[in-house]
Amino acid sequence: MAKENGNNKNKNAEYGAGQIQVLEGLAPVRKRPGMYIGGTGLEGLHHLIWEIVDNSIDEAMAGYCDNIEIEFMPDDMVQVSDNGRGIPVEKHKQTKKSTLETVLTVLHAGGKFEGEGYKVSGGLHGVGVSVVNALSSYLRAEVKRNGKLWAQEYKQGNAKSNIKAIGTSKETGTKIIFQPDSEIFPEIKFDWNKVISRMRQQAYLTKGVKIKITDSRDSEKKRSYAFFFDGGVVSYVKHLNAGKEIKNIIPFYVDKEKDEVSVEIALQYNDSYKEHIFAFANNIHTVDGGTHIVGFKSAITRTFNSFARKKGYLKEKDDNLTGDDMMEGLTAVINIKLREPQFEGQTKTKLGNANIKSIVASVTASALDEYLEENPNDAKAILGKCILSAKARLAARAARDTIIRKGALEGMTLPGKLADCSERKAENCEIYIVEGDSAGGSAKQGRDRSFQAILPLRGKILNVERARLDRMLGNNEIKNLVIAMGTSVGEQFDISKLRYNRIIIMTDADVDGAHIRTLLLTLFYRYFEELITGGHIYIAQPPLFRIQAGKEFKYVFSEEEKDEAVQEFRLKLDQRRENNKAKKNKNKTGEEAEEIEVVADGAATEGAMKGINIQRYKGLGEMNPAQLWETTMDPKTRTMKKVTIEDGEEADKVFDTLMGSEVEPRKRFIQTHARNVRNLDV
């Protein structure tokens, strides 16, 4: 025991003040960039732009800026400029440096921490521009202020020189040019479409501000895009509902300040079956909701029920409409601005201010009651939609109950077509949703029965984009899938009861297979979105070709890989023939050897084409169980794609366009993208 204590004493001696590392200035940011921008992948890379733009948006929300420009430049440089007040340049009393240098080199130094700097602001807890500086190999700041043009340059967060006045200016504003550091970011590749989408959203939320994006990376293909929306969130709602059948032609809109909180809300109903609520606090997209959404939903439910009873849409014997009934087909944008937002987590995905719930509820209820009274036709259309949703909800509940009862009677709730696995811990299990009984048979024989389950689908499932939940549950294939997954659906959905950690879609590599895959993805996106966001949905990647030369073969997954494999085998065959030819010519001389070589060359070229066999797999059933296991199901060798949602707004629009009932938007989409089609199967 004494010896053990002695060892502990020695260990304690090794751990003292000398082992405590103190990182000064911006060093912590370079050492742990993920703590400040979420990671060093492409999301973190783009976060640098968001941080700089957020400062310009702050100026716009404060009423000092109406023009923001972003430019992609050669050598991975990005320039963000605005016509705001310009970052102050005078000496800061605490740091004894210019305020510009203080803002760029000191964490948590910014106007949003001063009482009167900004009433409301976004940004990442005020650390934005200094973090960008720390993670850039080069940064240049230019400020128009006090009649002069000021400039200062930095390298990896450190000032290269003092701030200098390099000219005069009658205007005000700030320009930041930065180059992400390749020591921090393994891949520096800015996505034009991602930036366009984000800036469109910011322009909607900051009405009256022009945001222009220019791509100058290729001088021969320079492009630019600009946004300006004077209608604010009303324009945003109309954009989200474009191409859909609208119920209330006049959108509901309120823009009111209460208790120093600005509440701006627009809503409009369409003919779809899913809610789309986009909520923001100080222009930060709160994807995980918060008190502003809770307040909004409670006001919607209370006001609609009260109005429906007052006007006789609901009789005395009728039950109240539920919150879910109100949400079906609703598109709403909630944008609140408050002085001290309390966000949960560094990435600000949920708003936690308790007082916001009652403020939003009060503003919404008052304005909505007035809207319904003043727009009786729109009110009737909305309530008609909600009452129909209630009837469908009751029908869906009956259908769900039928499924549960039917499943219980048929053996532990599992469908007969399911070949289940023996493992019972969901985290170790996976289920393959397979197209057709033939492929299902191969998969059942080739799988590892301990952890892999197989559910064959017969034909194409129902397109749920055009059907309510009650009709969806009447489809046998969907019913079997819901029972197999174990989560239930709709208001009874419970992800904790998911029976398989990985749900893998495995379809043929043809048009029908692609259609079935799309129908399944539509089902998961519309009714099981949490399975996608939780990382549970995958797409199997069976090989497209089997290339064989002699006894050697190779599976490939694309036309490009096929061409490479054929070339590889061709070179091997040529080399093999050259070696054989050399052996035959070894004892020959002069002209005779040369003549044989010419003949052999001709034969080798022709033989390389004939000696390679290319088999294209159009159906999974063309592979025997061993091949299917080796290429598509063996965790050691298979390739799978995880399904994710990077942009919910864009995903929703694409599903609605391609799978919805409107023909014209789908036609335009096909015409627009037709030139990019490869390997068309007709």
Task: Give CA–CA dist 50/36, Å, rounded.
Answer: 13
The DSSP secondary-structure symbol of 320 reads: P
Q: Which residues pair with 180 in a beta bridge?
A: 136
Task: Give CA–CA dist 423/449, Å, rounded.
Answer: 9
Active site (annotated) includes residue 508: yes
Q: Which residues pair with 336 in a beta bridge?
A: 263, 281
Active site (annotated) includes residue 370: no
As a residue count, the chain comes to: 682
Q: Determine the 3-state secondary structure of 666 from DSSP.
A: helix
Active site (annotated) includes residue 512: yes
- The one catalytic residue in 82, 215, 264, 508 is 508
Stretch (H or E) spanning 659 = helix 648-659
- Secondary structure (H, E, C), 296-317: HHHHHHHHHHHHHHHCCCCCCC
Q: State phi, psi for 436 to the nearest 5 degrees.
A: 85, 155
Residues 6 or more apart in contact with residue 57 via CB below 8 angstroms: 68, 122, 202, 206, 209, 283
Residues 6 or more apart in contact with residue 399 via CB below 8 angstroms: 469, 470, 473, 474
Q: Determine the 3-state secondary structure of 351 from DSSP.
A: strand
Q: State phi, psi for 265 to the nearest 5 degrees.
A: -140, 140
- The one catalytic residue in 437, 512, 568, 597 is 512
Q: Evaluate whether 133 touches 116 at the Cβ level (below 8 Å).
A: no
Active site (annotated) includes residue 574: no
Task: Give CA–CA dist 543/456, Å, rounded.
Answer: 19
Q: State phi, psi for 361 to the nearest 5 degrees.
A: -60, -45
Which residue type does 460 have? K
Please calculate the CA angle 77-83-89 and round it to the nearest 5 degrees: 80
- The one catalytic residue in 66, 153, 510, 601 is 510
- The one catalytic residue in 58, 76, 420, 435 is 435
Q: Which residues are catalytic?
A: 435, 508, 510, 512
